[in-house]
Structure 1
Amino acid sequence: MFPKLCACCETALLKDETSICTFCRNELPLYSNFFDGDHDLHKILYGRVLLDQAVSLFYFEKKGIIQNLIHDLKYKGNEELSYHLGEWLGELLVDSGWKNKIDVVLPVPLHNQRFRQRGYNQVEGFGKEIAKKLSAVYNDTLLKRRSNSKTQVFKNRLARTEVVQNHFYVEKQAVLSDKSVLLVDDLVTTGATLEACYLALKDAGVNNLNIATIAVSK
């Protein structure tokens, strides 16, 4: 009874459109240097995370079109969008020779309380579709979050790092030992959460960490 709406502009989608209308799709700020070794994620995480490859679909700016997309994904129950973006990025990764080079795809986990509030992890579909494209294993039970940290939006980098430090751990660490891991997340601003995940994965013996995100802040 209700038409599906574009995640960016909330206009009704046409029959052949999925999650994002054709106009907005053409307006999305795609990350220009997709596989550049000088990726912004490398810059954000420099000196804190030993990172192999990093990829992002979009640039993020406040009050921009991607802010609407991320808000729709996280707070409006648009799980379909997560799968759509994962399929999109997964195809780009295959075209760039990533197929069969990743062993395990892990999503940045939500705390159980937040998961119950939201009903889903906003990067679940994103990670599952990427894993499918790369012939990798998707696993959302290994990397765990110890506590439900408050919103990170208004904290600076140091404060965010203190909040999330040691809030992640790995169950069954032997499963990830010497594996090539792809960690997926929605939006990266300071990188504090990814750093904390990296420390947990490092303790588990992961020696080849890659990161894929929906968007990265300019």
Structure 2
Amino acid sequence: MFKDFKNLLFPKLCACCDQVLLKEEAFICTFCRHELPLYANFFDGHHDLHKILYGRVQLERAASLFYFEKKGPIQALIHDLKYRGNKELSFYLGSWLGEILFEAGWQRSIDVVIPVPLHRQRMRERGYNQVEGFGKAIAEKLSAKYTDTILKRRSNSKTQVFKSRMARSEVIGNNFYAEHLQEVSGQHILLVDDLVTTGATLEACYLALNEAEGIKLNIATMAITK
């Protein structure tokens, strides 16, 4: 009864359209869930990240849950996750993609899941890394280890979402570094992030992780730009 009263005073809203959710709905209303732009090429072996990162990253496999467009429902969803404190949405999306990855057999090769890190200052401001729950939920589905102690971030650069490829290239340099690489030597790593546009951040993370011997890199993101 108290829970119903609380929901009456503070109704839960859809992360995409801000409509009040029904009792049986979680995070995304039924209408929006059916209208979301799911990534279409998941199982055909031609993920866009292979083209984006070609010649820059030695990539094994890649997966994304959604396509991203400006002013679209996925922009609203990611904004809700990052700036409105909807931390649990990260776990929800990770469970969703994790089930797809499990059905595709990724649990047979992924050893460890690593999130793209936030800078300490951004972490203090937000209170959480928006891809932490996403990564943990995927790791649980795949029976893999999750760790956020390997990959670190030096720069607290502003959001890169709408910058050009040249402007985003500034994140490559020395913005990311890795520690305790012996813990992941020879392993299949699944690097997880929220949104990929030019791939500069993912390339920077790869360069840091590739200091470990014999790793194989896989990438999973919530969304990728069209």
Stretch deviating more after TM superposition (90-99 or 190-199): 90-99
Task: Determine whether 1:125 maps to 2:144.
Answer: no
- Residue-by-residue CA offset, 1:55-113 (whole Å, 9 max, x unaligned): 00000010111110011011111111100000000111111111242110000000000
Partner of 2:104: 96
Residue type of the alignment partner of 1:88: W
For structure 2, the residue ranges without an aligned partner over 5 or more in a row are: 1-8
**Match 1:67 to one of 67, 75, 79:** 75
Stretch deviating more after TM superposition (34-43 or 157-166): 157-166
Q: Does the 8 Å contact 2:184/2:215 carry over to 1?
A: no
Partner of 1:106: 114
**Match 1:21 to one of 15, 29, 52:** 29
Calculate the aligned-residue CA RMSD, in Å. Answer: 1.1
State the SS of the aligned residue for 1:182. strand
Q: Does the 8 Å contact 2:87/2:133 carry over to 1?
A: yes
Partner of 1:158: 166
- Residue-by-residue CA offset, 1:30-73 (whole Å, 9 max, x unaligned): 01111332111111111111100000000001011111001101
Equivalent residue pairs, number? 218
CA 1:120–1:206 in 2, change beyond 3 Å: closer, same or farther? farther
Q: Does the 8 Å contact 1:100/1:136 carry over to 2?
A: no
- Residue-by-residue CA offset, 1:146-180 (whole Å, 9 max, x unaligned): 12112324432122122332211111110111110
**Cα distance in 2 between the residues matched to 1:211 and 1:145:** 18
For structure 1, the residue ranges without an aligned partner over 5 or more in a row are: none
**Cα distance in 2 between the residues matched to 1:130 and 1:206:** 23
State the SS of the aligned residue for 2:222. strand
Partner of 2:4: none
State the SS of the aligned residue for 2:106. coil
Which has more radius of gyration?
2
**Match 1:198 to one of 206, 222, 225:** 206
**Cα distance in 1 between the residues matched to 2:84 and 2:202:** 24
Task: Determine whether 1:181 maps to 2:189.
Answer: yes
Sequence identity of aligned pairs in percent? 72
Q: Does the 8 Å contact 1:101/1:134 carry over to 2?
A: no
Partner of 2:3: none
